[in-house]
Structure 1
Amino acid sequence: MFIRPLDPVADGPALHVIFGDPECCTWLPEPAFADLDATIAKLRDWTTGFEATSWAICETPDGPALGRIALYNVGRDKDVWEAACMVNPQARGQNYAARGLHFSVQYLFENTTARRVFADIDPDNHASIRTFEKLGFTREGVLRGEWETHIGIRDSVIFGLLRSDPRPDIPNPPQFIAG
């Protein structure tokens, strides 16, 4: 497994498999993107905006993106970041999300002044909850009625990890390809 900086245009077609799929986008604030151009536009927006660290997960160094890992500063405090991930349905069950997130969080703590990373997860997104728990994130609470999404008003379960928190070893970490 490899992780590299995300390229919205080059990775757009592979990631549209995720972001153009209504089922994959169930837990996102907005519905699946209607076409490839919309996916590329959103990826551009995300990677040139507040997501300074947005990576593609790949099986081979030059292979297609199987998923996306994003860590972004939420703006309230430069040392507090949010983590998110999406993996192609065909690539699920191979621990890509956990391995990619583990690498990304470690990279963030080693290369920035970040003191905390959190995840904001829909309470019905059980796979995402399991992934963040596996990485040592602590369930901190529930924000009721936090999001108005395309599927209605939703709660948020907040998971947090401090720089000083213990983190489990994750086997077979990805290799990083600098962009």
Structure 2
Amino acid sequence: MFLRPIDPVVDGAALHTIFGNPECCTWLPEPAFASIADTIAKLKHWNSGFEKTSWAVAASPNGPALGRIALYNTGDDPDVWEAACMISPAARGQNLAARALSHAIGYLFETTTARRIFADIDPDNIASIRVFEKLGFTREGQLRGTWNTHIGIRDSVIYGLMKTDPQPDIGPAPIVIA
């Protein structure tokens, strides 16, 4: 597995298999994007804003993106970051999200002053909950009615990981391409 910086234009079509798929986008605030151009536009928007640390997950250095890993600072506190991941349906079941996130989290803790990373997950998104629990995140609470999404008002389950928390070894690290 390889991690490389997202290139919205190059990775847009491959990532549209996620962001254009209504089932994959169930737990996102917005519905699936209608076109590859819409996916590319959203990736450009994310990369030009607060998401300076996002990567494509790929099987080979120049291979198509199988998913996206993002760590971003929401601006409230420079030492508190949020984590997110999406893996294409065809690539699920290979532990890619956990392995890629584990590496990205380690990188963030080593290269920044981050002290805490959290994940804001819909309580019905069992797959994401399992990934973050596998990585040592602790369920910290549930916020009721916090998201107004395309499927209605939804709760959030907050999972957190402190820099000082034990981080499990979940398998071989990805190869990172700068």
- CA distance in 1 between partners of 2:15 and 2:159 (Å): 25
Matched residue SS, 1:148? strand
Per-residue deviation, 1:81: 0.3
- CA distance in 2 between partners of 1:93 and 1:169 (Å): 18
Q: Which runs of 4+ in 1 moved over 4 A?
A: none
1:15 aligned partner: 15
- CA distance in 1 between partners of 2:137 and 2:171 (Å): 17
Q: Deviations over 1:130-162 (max 9, x none)?
A: 000000000000000010000000000000000
Q: Deviations over 1:72-123 (max 9, x none)?
A: 0011101100000000000000000000100000010011100000000000
- CA distance in 1 between partners of 2:171 and 2:101 (Å): 13
Normalising by structure 2, report the TM-score. Answer: 0.99
2:138 aligned partner: 138
Q: Which runs of 5+ in 2 are unaligned?
A: none
Per-residue deviation, 1:62: 0.9
1:43 aligned partner: 43
- CA distance in 1 between partners of 2:153 and 2:54 (Å): 27
Aligned alpha-carbon RMSD (Å) = 0.4
Matched residue SS, 1:159? strand
Normalising by structure 1, report the TM-score. Answer: 0.99
Matched residue SS, 1:37? helix
Per-residue deviation, 1:173: 1.3
- 2:124 is the counterpart of 1:124: yes
Matched residue SS, 1:142? strand
Matched residue SS, 1:81? strand
1:106 aligned partner: 106
Per-residue deviation, 1:48: 1.0
1:5 aligned partner: 5
- CA distance in 2 between partners of 1:129 and 1:170 (Å): 16
- Number of aligned residues: 178
The one-letter code matched in structure 2 to 1:40 is: I
The one-letter code matched in structure 2 to 1:145 is: G
- CA distance in 2 between partners of 1:176 and 1:37 (Å): 27
Matched residue SS, 2:27? coil
Q: Which runs of 5+ in 1 are unaligned?
A: none
The one-letter code matched in structure 2 to 1:103 is: H
Alignment of 1:89-104 (within 5 A): 89-104=89-104
- 2:88 is the counterpart of 1:84: no
Paired-residue identity, %: 72
Q: Deviations over 1:11-44 (max 9, x none)?
A: 0000000000000000000000010110000000
